[in-house]
Amino acid sequence: MRHAENFSRWLQATRPRTWPLALSPVFAGLALAWVQTGTLAWFAAVGTLWVALAIQIGTNLHNDAADFERGTDTAERLGPVRAAAAGWFSVQTVRRAAHLAFASAFTIGLLLVISRGGWPLLALGAAAITAGYAYTGGAKPIAYGPLGELYVVAFFGLAAVAGTAYLQTGTVSGQALLVGFALGLPAAAVLLLNNYRDFASDQRAGRNTLCHVLGRARARWLYTLLLLVPLLVLTGGLVWLALPLALWLLWRLWRGADGRALNPLLAHTALYQSAVAGLLVLDLLFNI
């Protein structure tokens, strides 16, 4: 029973609801490569998915430990329970798990570099792991300033899609960059909404996120753009089927959802990014 409880807690600590944010753009990059070449290097495809997931898990665990140490995660936290703050595991244990996740990403990534990617992929992988640590680590964490959303667009959009396609094809196309930009926007909307929910507690903790720079009213407008612009960028095809979900999310936020009521909205915003990516993949593969 104890083992099952620990497994459940570790799984929750890795934040499974955020996994699609890392995996969806990789699937989009693989679909672009398939359309371009008619084939896939399957070891590289599976390896890329694992690296993306491991970096996401490592970032989540490092965030868990770092935010607890900085006093950001307290009993007043509005979001889901965090492992260190809840006392499930020690800060050192959570941080070691983060190191393990990053190490596995580095190991598999190194194999991909040696077998296919070369130095451009090595540079991209090193930047992604460094950013994962820097997100809540160091003297000036990314998450505590106004550049978090830019970080998300760069690594959960542009780098994920274009890097995946490059690993398969050896080239970076304009289409890959466009798709990466489009998928990075709703991923950034998840972070923006997270900071919107935690506006007061983050302010007390000294965070100066983009939401604080803009104010909550302007942040709602930015959230609107982050959801709708991808549909304009990825014109035609099936992606417009995601519009009803976008409108429902916007209706919920503008209607006044706040506090813990924003937690389901956060999960559904991540689902929206996956829906856009999934519809795009179907469109690319089957030319619907």
| Global model pTM greater than 0.85 | yes
| Per-residue DSSP letter, 236 | S
Domains of the chain plus CATH, in order, are 18-71+86-286 (1.10.600)
Distance between CA atoms of residues 228 and 243, nearest Å? 8
Residue whose C-alpha is closest to residue 182's, from 129, 261, 240: 240
Work out the widest C-alpha separation in the chain, in whole angstroms: 53
Provide the pLDDT for residue 282: 94
Residue pLDDT, tens place only, 175-205: 999 999 999 999 999 999 999 998 988 888 7
- In the chain, the amino acid numbered 283 is D
d(CA 172, CA 149): 23
The one-digit pLDDT tens for each residue of the chain (288 residues) are 577 788 899 999 999 999 999 999 999 999 999 999 999 999 999 999 999 999 999 999 998 888 888 776 665 666 677 888 888 999 999 999 999 999 999 999 999 988 886 778 888 888 888 888 888 777 788 888 899 999 999 999 999 999 999 999 999 999 999 999 999 999 999 999 999 998 988 888 788 999 999 999 999 999 999 999 999 999 768 999 999 999 999 999 999 988 888 999 999 999 999 999 999 999 998 875
Q: With 0-12 CB in 10 A as exposed, 13-18 as middle and 19+ as buried, what is 183?
A: buried
Residues 194 and 196: their CA atoms lie apart, in Å, by: 5
